[in-house]
Structure 1
Amino acid sequence: MYNLNFKYFFIYILIINLIGFLFMYIDKKRAINHQFRISENTLLLLSILGGSIGSFIGMYKFRHKTKKKKFTVGIPLIFIIESFLIMQII
């Protein structure tokens, strides 16, 4: 039972991080093309929901939101807090 739950948790983390990464890419492209953007709150929410690694990698891969403190400090901080919480559960 424990292994099954861990499997689903791992799949969830993989998917939410992929979404965080893709949203950074999509928002960067929309910014370049002066199109409707993904809100900063949505990008941060994805990090809070477990996508902080994907969002962080996307930030630096696409050089997007790297001048905004709420992202350069916030996303790594979210990752640290989430890592701590996961370690408490495991």
Structure 2
Amino acid sequence: MSASHLRHAVTGAAVLVMTGLSTWSVTPAQAADSELNVYNWSDYIAKDTVPNFEKQTGIHVKYDNYDSDDTLQAKLLAGSSGYDIVVP
């Protein structure tokens, strides 16, 4: 699989994950103290995906980006990254 196809596949998977998460049955009271920590490549999802997810679920998203495989690997190998979702 070419790098371009792989990147599109991963992007699609990330969008599906975020979309799937938005269908959880979460009441605003349950979500009030909730936070989802996401670590992803920059520009992998549309700019409105996270705000739309937060609006629909009431869950705050801490969305961090990385710029290289080395950065991702260093963060994860250091342990206790605190991320709920990591998109490689």
Band the TM-score falls in, shorter-chain normalisation:
0.3 to 0.5
TM-score, L = length of structure 2: 0.45
Greater relative contact order (CA < 8 Å, ≥ 6 in sequence): 2
Looking at secondary structure, tell me which structure has more helix per residue: 1
- TM-score (ref. length: structure 1): 0.44
- Structure with higher strand content: 2
